[in-house]
Chain A
Amino acid sequence: MAAEKSSIKIITLIAADGSVFEVEPNIVKEMKTVQSYIDELDQNTVSIPLPNVFGNDLAMIIEYCKKHASEEETKEAKEEFDFEFVKRMKSDDKLRLLQAASYLNMESFLQFMAKAIAAEIENQSVEFVRDYFQIESDFTPEEEAELRKENEWAFK
């Protein structure tokens, strides 16, 4: 059966909104959640539902995987792609992709998104970051002052 397993040509991924993506096996290698599902099956064709990932997000993730799995692309070309990839996203896109990466168990993509999000909140005001993560402060002014004092060195 092992020989047949390796003969899988196309993997069908079905996103939460029902949109369907057909990809080659090497594209999903990085998606550990999908890969372990494939490894358990003894079938020639595989169709995998991903109820936690939206079609738009999945399309972006596949685009990223395709670029990075390509052996023809130079390191510089990949870096340039990453730069543009992040540039065209809104902040909530990044947070959604971070969650999708976590669900799909994609370690390097997860790091990539976490880094991109960190770059957005680096050197921003407390209000900006609260807004970014939609946080309502539940501190009394005294409590906040106490915390600021605790790590005084971090607040100029």
Chain B
Amino acid sequence: MLIIKEVNLNEDLDFISQLPDNLLSRIISFLSINEAARTSILSKRWIHLWKNVFHLDFDWANMIKFIPKYYHHRLCKEFFNFIIVAEEHAKKYGEIVNTILDQHVGDDLTSCCFKHFHRNVYDGDFKSWVEFIVESKKLSFLSLECKPPSDTYKTLVMAKFKPKIFSNLCSLELTNYELEGSILSAFESCKKLKILKLKKISMVTSIINGILENCFGLEKFCLIQSYGFDSLKIENKNLKYLELLGLNVKEIDVNAEELQVLVIDSLRCPPKGIRIYSRNLRNFSYACNLIPQEIESQDILRTRDALENCSDLLVYKPINIFQNLLTLSIDLDLNNIRDALVFSYILTTCFYLNTLELTIPVKKVSASTATSDDCALPFPKSMFWENREVSGFIRKNLKFVKVKGFTGKELEVSFVQHLIKKAYMMKKLHVICDSTIMDEAKDLQSLQSASVNLSILLESEYQEYQEDQTSILFMKPLSSLI
């Protein structure tokens, strides 16, 4: 707790009560909508300060009182009543939003978020809110999110907008909507739009690609858990950041010369369907976090496939997107020889890589599948990395390495040992492992390292019981040993 009055007595603190209105409104802009409204009772001066904010966040969770649980249960039995309650909430939400927008002073509302009910769209309120703030305020950031489908409303709501409505926006986020043909006119002449985030959106192929074509100035694009389309064409010249999460498609074409960051998670796509042409990529991240591990779907594009198909490893690929990479962050089973082979090839092509983050996936114990992917080696597994020529670039540039899910198996150990022995510029090696193999992990610290500045950090992870709790056991700079 803060003690406000604890200050130097000789210092004049009058300035606090004399802070100008615009600075106080700026502070209120960072409060949730209910907290902002509550500042009106601080003093007469404050009654209207919150009506002059530059950001409004209309989140129904902060505006609508929840009905008590017992009441809720009783109502659930009568579906009809349940709908009535939902309608009432939507109506109340609409009234509050209308009042606040009506009272907002000036045109300096630059950022606005709505988390609304389905009903607000059917009532037409939603459309008029968006038009009002876009047309009479200097809005540049807009985020719209409908309540997710539930028992009451089982499908996504169709969002419709006026033509060219987004033309002055710099950032737009849409969540939980269905989009159809007319949306393309809303995206007309939106050359100022730099950031677009579409989450849980249902739309067909022509819609998503049409939107992308219209937003030619786009610098950051996130497409998350959206569906209804099977082909993605991303050819935005200015695009620097691209995030594709939880998608299921047949093909993805990315042709963005300026792209610097590419983040992919849980992608379902045939290996040959992924075509990425971006020479200037700095940061590549590939994982399967969104899909529960029990579901081992065949369609999920594995990291190995992604690595193969985004590099020049396969003959028909003219471009290797890894050559200018600074950070590589991937899920990869180092114990699988084929995965390890592809990975070792990629490492030889990363000329500038300085940060490497590997997550070794937790494997289900299944007896039969263990060897299907393995291929025979003419030498013991533990020799694998010693027999690979890790490129001089890796040895010279690699500074930070993080290995998560370390299980202490031969190939993993030999990889990590190899880095310790060869990467002479490495500053930090962070190994996160199950507490049961801590002893094996500790052995890593006794190795002679090539880098004089290397510190090895071991962290144990209690996966099964306390998922989020990790404890740092010890950290020892190896330089002291040399």
Contact = CB atoms under 8 A, between A and B. Distances in A.
Interface string B15-38: 111011011101111111111011
B19 A99 contact: yes
B65 interface: yes
A102 B28 CA distance: 16
Contacts of B38: 126, 151, 154-155
Interface stretch (A1-9, A26-34, A35-43, A88-96): A88-96
Contacts of A98: 19, 23, 27
Interface residues of A, number: 40
A97 to B, nearest CB: 11
A120 B26 CA distance: 14
B43 A114 contact: no
A147 B40 contact: yes
Which interface residue of A129, A148, A151 has the most chain B CB atoms within 10 A? Answer: A151
A81 to B, nearest CB: 17
Given A134-B13, A134-B16, A153 B63 contact: yes
Given A154-B38, A156-B65, A114 B46 contact: no
Interface string A91-117: 110011011001000000011001101
Interface in A108-153: 110-111, 114-115, 117-123, 126, 129-139, 144, 147-148, 150-151, 153
Contact of A102 (B7, B13, B23, B30): B23
Nearest to A118: B30
A138 B44 CA distance: 6
Contacts of A144: 41
A114 B7 contact: no
A39 B2 CA distance: 42
B65 A95 contact: no
A11 B38 CA distance: 45
B4 A122 contact: no
B92 interface: yes
Contacts, number: 100
A130 to B, nearest CB: 6
B15 A99 contact: yes
Contact of A137 (B15, B19, B42, B64): B42
B6 interface: yes
B41 A153 contact: no
B114 to A, nearest CB: 16
A131 B30 contact: no
A71 B34 CA distance: 39
A155 B15 CA distance: 30
A118 B27 contact: yes
Contacts of A114: 23, 26-27, 29-30
B291 interface: no
Nearest to B16: A134
A136 B5 CA distance: 15
A133 B16 contact: yes
A126 B42 contact: yes
Contact of A110 (B26, B34, B43): B26
A91 B34 CA distance: 23
Contacts of B13: 92, 134
B17 A134 contact: yes
A132 to B, nearest CB: 6
Contacts of B32: 122
A115 B28 CA distance: 9
A135 B34 contact: no
Contacts of B101: none
Contacts of B96: 153
A133 B27 CA distance: 12
Nearest to A144: B41
B362 interface: no
A2 to B, nearest CB: 29
Contacts of A137: 42-43
Contact of A122 (B19, B31, B37, B64): B31
B92 A153 contact: yes
A116 to B, nearest CB: 9
B41 A138 contact: no
B481 interface: no
B47 interface: yes
A153 to B, nearest CB: 6
B71 to A, nearest CB: 16
Contacts of A96: 15
Which interface residue of B22, B42, B43, B64 has the most chain A CB atoms within 10 A? Answer: B42
B65 A118 contact: no
B34 A153 contact: yes
19 contacts: A90-B6, A96-B15, A102-B20, A114-B27, A117-B30, A118-B30, A121-B27, A122-B31, A130-B43, A132-B4, A135-B17, A135-B42, A137-B42, A138-B43, A138-B44, A150-B40, A153-B64, A154-B34, A154-B63
Given A95-B15, A95-B16, 20 more contacts: A90-B2, A98-B23, A111-B26, A115-B30, A117-B30, A118-B31, A121-B27, A121-B31, A121-B35, A122-B31, A122-B35, A126-B38, A129-B39, A129-B42, A135-B43, A148-B41, A151-B40, A153-B96, A154-B38, A154-B63
Which 7 residue pairs of A and B lie closest in terms of their CB atoms, listed nearest first? A118-B30, A154-B37, A154-B34, A151-B37, A114-B26, A134-B17, A135-B43
